[in-house]
Chain A
Amino acid sequence: MENFTPWSALAGGALLGLSAVILLLFRGRIAGISGILSGLFTPHKGDTSWRVLFLVGMMLGAAILLPMGFSIAKVPQGSTLLYVLAGLLVGIGTKLGNGCTSGHGICGMGRFSVRSVVATVVFMGVAILVVLLREQLGWF
């Protein structure tokens, strides 16, 4: 467990939670990233600018921290097929299941939504299984 970083994990998590509180309290919207993105593809009047601003803000937040000693690790170089397949599955899955790690995992579970708890257990369980199969059996 030498890679374990409990304090930065807790602090970063608290920032995510604070972001979700602010967006819901002030604007009435759920800070679920997959939903914020997919909502842009079915535009309604007055429902687009906050989405764009939030997504731009995410990149801006990272850009602000980069000169302050924080870094964004490079994504491991993998095959094009791997990233396209993973992205496609994440896109289909989050739209069909109505949420991802932020929408279900933080906002939904934080509201004590059983539906979100089930979704989180399922996607986390499947992801752990996929990694286990790769590590133990050399699949994928």
Chain B
Amino acid sequence: MNRVIALLAGILFGMGMVVSQMVDPAKVMGFLNISGNWDPSLAFVMGGALLMFSPCYHLFIKPRQTAISGEVLKVPTTTAIDKPLIIGASLFGLGWGLAGICPGPALTALVTGQQEILLFLAAMAGGQLLVIGWSKLRVRAMQRASS
């Protein structure tokens, strides 16, 4: 049952990406390009998602102690607006603006097997691994310094 839920949620997400056309980088660029023939669609995608998620979260999820499966509700507890957040969001914005592709559309469009998507995803995974490796090194260096 738990596995079916994860798969179902993924299916709905992929469908949302296709229906909203967010899998099309040209559609995303139409939103990001405010000086051209501006296409506000992306804002409506986010609006539709928020109109569905936000009330459901506050009414049905927030009051709960655990998920229906009994698992912990892994809602982020970090509230700090710190350097990693700002630098990370800036770098993400830079990459997003360059190609018009963000993680959701890239993983959905992987089904098409296009070479450009494969390149993007391989590099994206590489970038995430770089940060993971770098933060592990930092933790180890700090442990060594304190021992």
Partner-B contacts on A (CB < 8 A): 1-6, 8-31, 33-34, 37-38, 41-42, 49-51, 53-66, 70, 72-78, 80, 82-98, 100-102, 104-115, 118-120, 122-132, 134-136, 140
Contacts and interface: CB of A to CB of B under 8 A. Distances in A.
Contacts of B139: none
Interface of B: 2-3, 5-27, 29-30, 32-42, 44-54, 56-57, 60-62, 64, 66-69, 71-76, 78-81, 84-99, 101-104, 106-112, 114, 116-117, 119-132
Interface residues of chain A: helix, strand, loop or mixed (majority): helix
Contacts of A27: 2, 5-6, 9, 67, 69, 71
Contacts of A34: 103, 128
A128 B18 contact: no
Given A30-B76, A90-B103, A92-B131, A13 B116 contact: no
B22 A84 contact: no
Given A33-B107, A90-B101, A96-B91, A16 B20 contact: yes
Contacts, number: 484
Given A91-B123, A115-B85, A19 B128 contact: no
Given A86-B120, A110-B57, A91 B66 contact: no
Between A90, A93, A122, the greatest number of chain B beta carbons within 10 A of the residue's beta carbon is seen for A90
A54 B56 CA distance: 20
Contacts of A49: 3, 6
Given A100-B104, A107-B53, A122 B111 contact: no
Contacts of B24: 72-73
11 contacts: A4-B39, A28-B74, A37-B103, A76-B25, A90-B124, A93-B95, A94-B124, A97-B92, A101-B103, A131-B33, A131-B97
For the complex of A and B, 6 pairs with smallest distance between CB atoms: A57-B10, A91-B127, A97-B88, A12-B20, A13-B48, A61-B14
Contact of A126 (B47, B97, B107, B121): B97
Contacts of A74: 112, 114
Nearest to A29: B74
A57 B78 CA distance: 29
A23 B37 CA distance: 36
